[in-house]
């Protein structure tokens, strides 16, 4: 949420429009892509609270197809993935951290290799790997989004050491920023069904379960969230 604070309760301009997902956006700043929007004069603006767009649409739009496809396949909230990318790299596919994390979702070399990401700076590969890793953490922590995000930022060892979001300012701010930008993602799933293929007597057999297989590729074919 973005709180609008002005020096005086005088009239201020509030802008509204629909984003790419059809969600209503309210902001004290006009949209960056100069698309259609409405504007309102609001008195006493110091008490107005307005939503802030998750990311400028011009930055994220080029990656929406990959985000939506890999999020759907893995049963992860697309809004959560967008929020992670915004915080990790600000949608810069060439981002490289001082610790060696690479690309949009800032994959470490060992993680990228394990996930089969040959070129971490190629956006679709990076998103595929990042979503798969985020899904792994969500499953590990029983879909507790805050713990999965903390592990993404600070490592699983620190989450398990403290049994909660570690008491690191960076990690706590990281979790708060992302969950604030994608609040619907914090709702735990009531049912997830996984689908994968196994070889039985040399023949492929389709398997379904409410638990992901221990190894190998799988697809989420049903995912519902608690209201």
Active site members: 88
Sheet with 203-209, strands from edge to edge, namely 203-209, 189-200, 219-225
Angstrom distance (rounded) from CA 24 to CA 158 = 37
Q: Which two tokens stand for residue 225?
A: 């969230």
What angle do the packed helices 145-154 and 169-181 form, to 10 degrees?
130
Q: How many CA atoms lie within 13 A of 64 on its CB side?
A: 11
Write a three-state SS string for 193-222. EEEEEEEECCEEEEEEECCCCCCCCCEEEE
Helix (H, G, I), strand (E, B) or coil at 82: helix
């Amino acid at each position: 949420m973005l709180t609008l604070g002005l020096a005086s309760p005088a009239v201020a301009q509030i802008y509204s429009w629909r984003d790419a997902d059809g969600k209503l956006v309210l902001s004290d700043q006009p949209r960056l892509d100069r698309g259609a929007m409405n504007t309102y004069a609001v008195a006493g603006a110091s008490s107005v609270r307005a939503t802030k767009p998750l990311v400028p649409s011009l930055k994220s739009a080029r990656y929406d197809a990959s985000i939506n496809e890999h999020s759907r396949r893995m049963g992860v909230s697309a809004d959560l993935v967008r929020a992670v990318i915004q915080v990790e790299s600000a949608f810069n596919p060439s981002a490289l951290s001082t610790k060696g994390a690479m690309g949009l979702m800032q994959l470490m070399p060992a993680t990228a290799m394990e996930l089969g990401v040959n070129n971490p700076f190629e956006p679709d590969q990076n998103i595929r790997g990042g979503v798969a890793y985020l899904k792994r953490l969500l499953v590990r922590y029983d879909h507790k989004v805050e713990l999965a995000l903390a592990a993404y930022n600070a490592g699983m060892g620190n989450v398990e050491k403290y049994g909660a979001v570690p008491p690191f300012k960076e990690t706590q701010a990281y979790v708060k920023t992302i969950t604030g930008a994608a609040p619907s993602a914090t709702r735990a799933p009531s049912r997830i069904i996984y689908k994968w293929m196994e070889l039985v007597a040399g023949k492929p057999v389709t398997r379904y379960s409410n638990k992901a297989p221990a190894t190998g590729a799988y697809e989420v074919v049903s995912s519902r969230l608690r209201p």
